[in-house]
Amino acid sequence: MTAPERLSASAIAAAVNAGETSAAAVMESTLARIAAYDAIQPQVWISRMAAEELLAQARIVDARVAAGERLPLAGVPYAAKDNIDVIGLETTAACPAFAYLPETSAMVITKLSAAGAICVGKTNLDQFATGLVGTRTPYGAPRNASNLAYVSGGSSSGSAVAVAAGLVAFALGTDTAGSGRVPAAFNHLVGLKPTRGRWSTRGLVPACRSLDCITVFTDSPADAQLLDSVIAGFDAADPFSRRPVDVPIRGGRIGIPRPDQRVFFGDLESEQLYNRALAVLGRIGELVEVDIAVLLEAAQLLYGGPWVAERTAAVGTLLRDNPEAIDPTVRSILEPGLTMSAVETWKGIYRLAALARHAEALWDSVDVLAFPTTGTIYRVAELSAEPVALNSNLGRYTNFVNLLDMAAIAVPAGARHNRTGFGITLIGPAHSDRGLIAMAQDYLAAAQLPEFPPLDTGDHMDTVKLAVVGAHLEGMPLHWQLSSRNARFVGAFTTAATYKLYAMAESVPPKPALVHSGDGGAAIALEVYEMGLAEFGSFVAEVPPPLAIGTVTLADGTSVKGFVAEPRAIVGARDITHLGGWRAYIGG
């Protein structure tokens, strides 16, 4: 399957309002898309409306348009995370023992319906919205749309995949610790996390009620802005609702973490993609390095402070009466809240107030923050083996945002070699939502990212890129070790100008040694090949000492696996760096 044809909410509504298509035709196409993708990931959904009901709703929209109404979301299909009430469908929060049938829809659903949008179903999530991975659910873990071996991100997992797979034009998620931003990054989407209270949370199963935000996944900032214009508004029946105001972003000072505070958990590709994003941001504003220690300390309070008890409060009865009904990892997170004292709670509140005062000072030196959405991504199998620590890693740059009353929008910033998405998040003070959306549009226009990767339909094979500099080059004596493994030629490149090349002594057949050198190095010619993980493993097993496979930096700053050498490799060797490559040496 090729890259999905993403649906645009604004384009669909414009076409339906203009009579160029009908809401019924859009829904028929949507149902066909969903049915086709069910063969790949049925676990995206927990429940869906019957096709007959959806077509009936579409015909009502068509009648409204025919009667002269111009609906901002006419006939637009969307999905809602299954912790948001939709009349006619159970709300489960991914816990069957918790399920109930709501008497009314959440306020956001009511507003979307009035605008002509049609909810096709409820999407899967980390149980009780507790997680950033998408694996903590009894309904099966939604996988990354571009690589099924990797997590989709959570807790709004199904919502993100539904949009990334082109099933719906937008999907509602929620965000307490990053659940509306992490899945956006992993699946090449835009994820808008509004200011707390800007969108009503009436009808939402709370995670941390004082922090929760309903969010949206879209394919573009323009659609995010359209949805904000429909959904934002004061709700007197929601005690946490706030009257929306628009505070402009004052200037172009973009705060970024100091280099020593940028953590990518060993993921060189993510680090390189963030550096590329910074180069783009540097063209649209002034980059200002800031100390983020205060933000990181605030982030620790979300799961290491009294807000754990707030999560516990949302499901306390079930936790006491039927704990086995709760996912074991989720339960281990919630249980400490049962014994948290009022003294601990107030100490946490006081500490957060102090941290918030310090964080406010950031806005004196910068106008917006631009952080990696996450520092890395993990395979589903890795999360199964280490479910808590790896999940925590994904929240490093997200957990503080709601605690410190900030707005945020996650935007794509490229793809890793494994096709999973990397993203950055633009973060601003409360009520800067519209300014952040505009800045996201500016960033994406300047970045000119390549088309997002195709969907993984189950036949995708993980591969590794390998740089060779000597006897494995095309036409050289050991090239057969690549061709016999069906290695695909990617291209001819050069290293960064930080390497030396030596002709090793007494090597049969003759081989070079590539050595990293910060002093006196040069760009060395090489070839890059791509092969499957199993083939790569068998290749590495045959590499003889003193050579080894390490990481080689190319001239454009990216890294690939490649031949490197132990120090003993250059004993008695001839320095041929000045020739620029092995072919020049052999030919000479």
For 305-363, what is each residue's pLDDT tens digit? 899 999 999 998 999 999 999 999 999 999 999 999 999 999 999 999 999 999 999 99
Question: Binning pLDDT at 50, 70 and 90, where does residue 18 land?
Answer: very high
Q: What span, in angstroms and rounded, lies between the C-alpha atoms of 46 and 101?
A: 14
Token pair recorded at residue 280: 């783009």
Cα three-residue angle 355-270-137, rounded to 5 degrees:
75
Chain Cα centroid distance, residue 415: 10
Cite the DSSP H helix spans in 124-254: 157-164, 182-186, 221-231
Q: Which of 105, 113, 179, 220 is catalytic?
A: 179
Residue 2's pLDDT is 56
Q: Which of 10, 22, 81, 220 is catalytic?
A: 81
Residue 536's pLDDT is 96
CA distances from 447 to 184, 210, 555 (A): 17, 36, 20
Amino acid at 236: A
Residue 459's pLDDT is 81
- Sort 516 into a burial class: Cβ within 10 Å, 0-12 / 13-18 / 19+: middle
Token pair recorded at residue 91: 């709300």
Residue 418 has pLDDT above 70, yes or no: yes
Per the model's pLDDT, the better-predicted residue between 6 and 226 turns out to be 226
Residue 383 has pLDDT above 60, yes or no: yes
Q: What span, in angstroms and rounded, lies between the C-alpha atoms of 458 and 246?
A: 44
Q: Give the pLDDT mean for 147-151.
A: 96
179 in active site: yes
Q: Give the pLDDT mean for 95-99.
A: 98
Q: What span, in angstroms and rounded, lies between the C-alpha atoms of 434 and 440?
A: 10
Query: Which residues make beta-bridge pairs with 286?
Result: 253
Asked if 392 and 417 count as a contact pair (C-beta separation under 8 A), the reply is no
Residue 251's pLDDT is 82
pLDDT in tens, 98-140: 999 999 999 999 999 999 999 999 999 999 999 999 999 999 9
Residue 4's pLDDT is 64
Asked if 339 and 309 count as a contact pair (C-beta separation under 8 A), the reply is no
Chain Cα centroid distance, residue 581: 39
pLDDT in tens, 161-193: 999 999 999 999 999 999 999 999 999 999 999
Average pLDDT over the chain reads: 96
pTM of the model: 0.91
Place of tokens 């992490």: 182
Residue 1's pLDDT is 47
Q: Which of 146, 155, 200, 220 is catalytic?
A: 155
Token pair recorded at residue 452: 């997002």
Residue 520 has pLDDT above 90, yes or no: no
The answer for residues whose C-beta is within 8 angstroms of residue 146's C-beta and 6 or more apart is: 164, 187, 188, 415, 419, 420, 421, 452, 453, 454, 455, 456
Residue % of the chain over a pLDDT of 90: 95
- Sort 23 into a burial class: Cβ within 10 Å, 0-12 / 13-18 / 19+: buried
Residue % of the chain over a pLDDT of 70: 99
Residue 3's pLDDT is 58
Kindly list the structural domains of the chain, giving each domain's residue range(s) and its CATH number in brackets, ordered by start: 9-447 (3.90.1300.10), 463-587 (3.10.490.10)
500 in active site: no
Chain Cα centroid distance, residue 452: 13
CA distances from 332 to 97, 329, 388, 524 (A): 18, 5, 10, 52
User: For the chain, how many residues are written?
Assistant: 588
Handedness of CA 292, 293, 295, 296 (dihedral sign): positive
pLDDT in tens, 451-491: 999 999 988 888 999 999 999 999 999 999 999 999 999 99
341 in active site: no
Asked if 471 and 542 count as a contact pair (C-beta separation under 8 A), the reply is no
Q: What span, in angstroms and rounded, lies between the C-alpha atoms of 51 and 28?
A: 9
Asked if 82 and 47 count as a contact pair (C-beta separation under 8 A), the reply is yes
pLDDT in tens, 577-587: 999 999 999 98
- Sort 519 into a burial class: Cβ within 10 Å, 0-12 / 13-18 / 19+: exposed
